[in-house]
Amino acid sequence: MKIAILAPVAWRTPPRHYGPWEQIASNITEGLIKEGISVTLFATADSVTSAKLDAVVEKGYEEDKNQDAKVLECLHISNLMEKADEFDIIHNHFDFLPLTWSRLITTPMITTIHGFSSPKIIPVYKKYNQTSHYISISDADRSAELQYLATVYNGLNTDEFNFVEDPEDYLLFLGRIHPDKGTAEAIEIALKCKKRLIIAGIIQDTLYFESMVKPFLNDQIQFIGPVGPEQRNKILGKASALLHPINFKEPFGMSVAEAMLCGTPVIAFNRGSMPELIRHEETGFLVSSVDEACAAVNNIAAIKRSNCLTWAKSQFSKEKMTSDYIRAYEKVMSYEFCPHNP
């Protein structure tokens, strides 16, 4: 079996700090290599992989703003599509754009849908519904208008996360600084509970940061910016809880799984995939308001941190994800598979 993994080219694969789609493309690639499968990773030239790397883009357009993103995307996608007949499966992590090539090649394409940036993109997925194979990253993130091959949860390198039995007395917000992610709500929760809060992540919405986050920064509420793997694991493990007060139907939530792999329970607004990731009152709390979140903070000691680790390892490991994707590849390649009735 020869697999082509098409990663995005916004960031390096794997990313230095932010880049969840690139991270999952990397994890799948390395997981398949470990299983003895031939893999070619199509990503930026500075990417790090044990697979064969095929690149026509030197550096991600989010890391070098002098580049034109659309030009890089066209060069990157066409580079793979012109070599499509060299592979048994193309595994697309580049959203909907590569689908427009799918009927021009004979190699089957599996697309992992990492979320819908807008309902406006669904018509593209619908156009290729009968001839493509879609994977959702949670049951919550499925569109009723599309057909799916499977749901495969994102998988992480579990041995990269250190379990911490005795945390320090602070809360953590880890994610994009954006209204969707609820940074302001995390601050409100911390202030109401009179707890220290560390905020880590890239500033995706500058106006939001300047008006809703920066005015509250002090010794109690600290912003440390984006963090790499080592610092991320340290602050995750030492936190008493991760606050995840999202304001949108999140498709997955990498930081939620990462926190639990460190033994850190998660307090999240009950939206999107959160009920699939968090076992209420066992690995964290699903809440619907700031007041409920604050009550959960005060009850966080009731959560056994070992339960968080056990659950996360069983559901969100690279090994499980790799196994699930191999089954999907085999299903697509089998003569019995019918895309009209997956």
**Residue at token pair 């009152």:** 281
- Residue 256 CB coordination number (10 Å): 27
**DSSP-assigned letters across all residues of 126-190:** HHTTTTSEEEESSGGG--TTS--SEE----B-GGGS---SS--SEEEEES-BSGGGTHHHHHHHH
Whether residue 79 has pLDDT greater than 90 = yes
**Cα distance between residue 111 and residue 163, in whole Å:** 33
Q: Which CATH class is domain 2-155+317-333?
A: alpha beta
Whether residue 93 has pLDDT greater than 80 = yes
Confidence of residue 335 (pLDDT cuts 50, 70, 90): low
Eight-class DSSP state of 88: S
pLDDT tens per residue across span 131-157: 999 999 999 999 999 999 999 999 999
**Cα distance between residue 192 and residue 207, in whole Å:** 24
Under 8 Å between Cβ of 185 and 271: no
Confidence of residue 117 (pLDDT cuts 50, 70, 90): confident
Percentage of residues of the chain with pLDDT beyond 90: 94
Confidence of residue 337 (pLDDT cuts 50, 70, 90): low
The residues spanned by each domain of the chain are 2-155+317-333, 158-315
> Hey, which CATH number is domain 158-315, 3.30.470.20, 3.30.70.100, 3.40.50.2000, 3.40.109.10?
3.40.50.2000
Stretch 218-244: mean pLDDT, rounded?
95
- On average, the pLDDT of the chain sits at 95
b/e burial code for range 296-329 (CB count within 10 A of at least 16 → b): bbeebeebebebbbebbbebbbbebbbeebbebb
pTM for this one? 0.91
